Amino acid sequence: MSLPHALLGLLAVRPRSGYELTKAFERDLGRYAWQAGHTSIYPELNRLAGAGLAEVTHEGPRGARTYAVTPAGRAELRTWLLTPPKQAKVRNEQVLRMFLLSALDPADALVVLRRIAESTDQGVTELRKIREEHAAAPVTGAEGFGQLAAEYGLRQYEAVRGWAHWAIERLEREQGADGAAENP
């Protein structure tokens, strides 16, 4: 159960409302690391506040409440980050699909792989552009957050992209070899 720590981590960067946290999950965190919807986030914020790990620091229009992490929350987050479990829980549907790809015949597998190659080509291009734009920015605490994470996301994309192209080439060579087997 990592949701509370994900929330504490985001609040440690800067205070936010539940609504803003929800959007952070949709954009960055949820794409690579941990997804959660507002229906888990709001109750969890209440629990964190009840436990003294977060607190409401500001109330805005439309009942918006800005939460900040407390010193106790910061300590909890630090402990959690410094004591990782041996085997972390992994559940990634995209990766699962890649692992099961060989259950398809090569023609079908190629369709899927080409789609992956295309979308990761695009993803790499986008993320590289974003990185170049922010390359000049200072590297202090809160901003460092985005940069470490962005670099991680980019390298992840590049790895999948490289793998997809490698797999395509491999499958194509195999198919080519089948077709050309009769004439040496």
Partner DNA sequence: TAATTCATGTAAATCGTTACATGATTAT
Partner DNA sequence: ATAATCATGTAACGATTTACATGAATTA
Enumerate binding residues for its own copies (CB under 8 A): 2, 5-6, 8-10, 12-13, 28-35, 74, 77-78, 81-82, 84-85, 87-104, 108, 111-112, 115, 139, 141-142, 144-145, 148-149, 151-152, 155-156, 158-160, 162-163, 166-167, 170, 174
Span near DNA by CB under 7 A; candidates 31-39, 71-79, 100-108, 153-161: 31-39
Residue 5 interacts with DNA (CB under 7 A): yes or no: no
Q: Does 20 bind DNA (CB under 7 A)?
A: yes
* Residue placing its CB nearer to DNA in the complex, 58 or 128: 58
Residue selected from 50, 82, 89, 132 as contacting DNA according to rule CB under 7 A: 89
Can you tell me whether residue 50 is helix, strand or coil? Answer: helix
In degrees and rounded to multiples of 5, residue 80 shows phi and psi of -65, -40
> Across-strand partners of 66?
17, 58
Q: Does 45 bind DNA (CB under 7 A)?
A: yes
Nearer to its own copies, 60 or 102 (CB): 102
Q: At what angle do helices 3-13 and 38-50 cross, to 10 degrees?
A: 80
* CA–CA gap between residue 57 and residue 81 (Å, rounded): 25
Burial of 141 (0-12, 13-18, 19+ CB in 10 A): exposed
The SS3 of residue 102 is helix
